Homo-oligomer: A and B are copies of this chain.
Amino acid sequence: MKAIALLGGPKSEWPTNLQAHLRQKRADYFLIGVDRGALHLIEMGLVPDICVGDFDSLTEQELSLLESKCAEIRYSTPIKDLTDSELMLQTALIDYQVDSLRIYGATGGRLDHMLVNLFTFLKPEFRQYAEQVELVDRNNTVQYLLPGSHEIADRGSKYFGVAVLSSADKLSITGAKYELAPTDVLVPTVYGSNEFLAQASCQIAFETGLVAIIYSAD
């Protein structure tokens, strides 16, 4: 089962065609609304299969609307071990065992929220699911890679960046405009503004750590 989640980040960072994209083939995926993202889905005429959050930014009327529409709501508490988006990940990846999860609404607005989302897959309980997830916004798609040798393909954006999120042993980039010979990367580091060549794919390899590939358009 494929899943799509909408977090509460500002609409200005959504891909331009998000509503049309979500309405298409609605039966094909499991839909999760997180916090204000759940309300945004309702406003787009889409009923989430499940809603997750503490909903503290919603008015009473807005929360009532959600509760009247959605069959299942999971409430997090303000003092909690899991953030709202982590509760969403647990719900989707562990409880519902979805095969893939695309997340919208994770960027823009509050930077602490965005970084929480970006760093989540460094946590031992979520790390194993990293490769099933992607974050998508107006300009970027983020894909996670676990150690190994990977071929990544051009997705139509001009640039890509390789973000080492903690550390990585023997990271290499081969077959791209800017190559990297095997390098031990000791702290979070971004090799940005790289480009695919004519063959439209390249190889990323590393032995330890977690890497995010960021496909970006200007």
Residues of B within 8 A of A119 (CB): 187-190
* Interchain CB contact (< 8 A) of A113 among B189, B192, B217: B192
Contact A112 B57 (CB under 8 A): no
Asked whether A193 is an interface residue with its Cβ less than 8 Å from the other chain, the reply is: yes
Chain B CB within 8 A of A139 CB: yes
CB-based contact A188/B122 at 8 Å: yes
A110 interface residue per 8 A CB criterion: yes
A111 interface residue per 8 A CB criterion: yes
Contact with B along A153-187 (1 / 0, CB 8 A): 00000011101011000000000001000000001
Q: Does A147 touch B at the CB level, under 8 Å?
A: no
Residue of B nearest to A138 (CB): B109
A153 to chain B, nearest CB (A): 17
A216 adjacent to B112 (CB under 8 Å) = yes
Residues of chain A touching chain B, judged by Cβ–Cβ distance below 8 Å, are: 12-13, 57, 79, 83, 107-113, 115-116, 119, 122-123, 137, 139-140, 142, 159-161, 163, 165-166, 178, 187-190, 192-193, 214, 216-218
Q: Which residues of B contact A107 (CB under 8 A)?
A: 111
A-B contact pairs, 30 of them (CB 8 A): A83-B192, A108-B108, A109-B218, A110-B139, A110-B216, A110-B217, A110-B218, A111-B137, A111-B140, A111-B142, A112-B140, A112-B159, A112-B161, A112-B163, A112-B190, A112-B193, A112-B214, A113-B192, A115-B161, A115-B163, A115-B188, A115-B192, A116-B161, A119-B187, A122-B187, A122-B188, A122-B189, A165-B187, A166-B166, A188-B188
Closest CB-CB distance, A209 to chain B, in whole Å?
A: 9
Q: Are B139 and A166 in contact (CB under 8 A)?
A: no
Kindly state the separation between the CA atoms of A186 and B141 in the bound complex, as whole angstroms: 27
Query: Are B216's CB and A140's CB within 8 A?
Result: no
Least distance between A116 CB and chain B CB atoms (Å): 5
Q: Establish whether residues A110 and B140, one from each chain, have CB atoms under 8 Å apart when the complex forms.
A: yes
A111 touches B216 (CB 8 A): yes
The minimal Cβ–Cβ distance linking A152 to chain B, given in whole angstroms, is 14
